[in-house]
Amino acid sequence: MKSLPYFCRGEVVRGFGRGSKELGIPTANFPDSVVEHLPADVNTGIYYGWACVGHGDVHKMVMSIGWNPYYKNSKKSMETHVIHTFKEDFYGEVLSVVMVGYIRPERSFDSLDALISAINSDIEEAKLKLDQPEFLKLKTDNFFSSSSHSPSAATTAENSIINGH
């Protein structure tokens, strides 16, 4: 995938509310504007990379892009689970991410438990992969310390400038 690493940011919006309640794995959803800017070669599926909320610390993340076949969503989503325990929700804040690698395609499962196990193995794989020097260096990329982290900047025309790499 020649578009990786792929940098983007956007305001965290409300999704279906299923991540934390049903799965125990919250996912911060990006608005449509961010989803629509994805390059054509960034396929749907599960990715790993780095993420930061507002001006906060950079953490490991896993991201799901697509239609959640287990739930048969009609709308394409881009949802990030940040591998960190936050004290509070961060709806309305700006989430900055860099996607660095691809894990697997999205698929359906026979049970909710099977989906949860798959997500937990994705998290373990992401943790290991991101410790490799080539990926670790992106954690300190200037992208995460640049100034355009305000919700207004991220939701307006600036998306066309800040998405991409």
* Residues within window 98-117 making contact with ligand RBF, judged by CB under 6 A: 106-107, 115
Question: Interface with ligand ADP includes 81 (CB under 6 A)?
Answer: yes
Cα dihedral sign, 137-139-144-145: negative
CA atoms within 13 A on the CB side of 113: 0
Q: Measured in Å, how far apart are the chain's first and last C-alpha atoms? A: 13
* Residues within window 2-61 making contact with ligand RBF, judged by CB under 6 A: 15-16, 18-19, 23, 25, 27, 46
* Residues within window 58-97 making contact with Mg ion, judged by CB under 5 A: 79
Contact segment (CB under 6 A) with ligand ADP among 13-21, 107-115, 116-124, 146-154 equals 13-21
- Catalytic one among 11, 22, 36, 79? 79
Answer for which of 31, 69, 93, 158 binds ligand RBF (CB under 6 A) is 69
Per-residue CA distances from 46 to 101, 122, 132 (Å): 9, 8, 19
Question: What is the number of other CB atoms lying within 10 angstroms of the CB of residue 35?
Answer: 17
CA atoms within 13 A on the CB side of 75: 12
Q: Pick one of ligand RBF, Mg ion, ligand ADP, none as the site partner of residue 68 (Cβ within 5 to 8 A by kind).
A: ligand RBF
Q: Clarify whether 79 is annotated catalytic.
A: yes
Question: Which tokens sit at 136?
Answer: 């670790």
Nearer to Mg ion, 29 or 159 (CB): 29
CB of 79 to ligand RBF, least distance (A): 5
Identify whether the C-beta of residue 43 lies closer than 8 Å to the C-beta of residue 124: no
Question: Interface with ligand ADP includes 87 (CB under 6 A)?
Answer: no
Tell how far CA 126 is from the center of its chain. Answer: 12
Q: Pick one of ligand RBF, Mg ion, ligand ADP, none as the site partner of residue 137 (Cβ within 5 to 8 A by kind).
A: none
* Residues within window 18-77 making contact with ligand ADP, judged by CB under 6 A: 18-21, 26-29
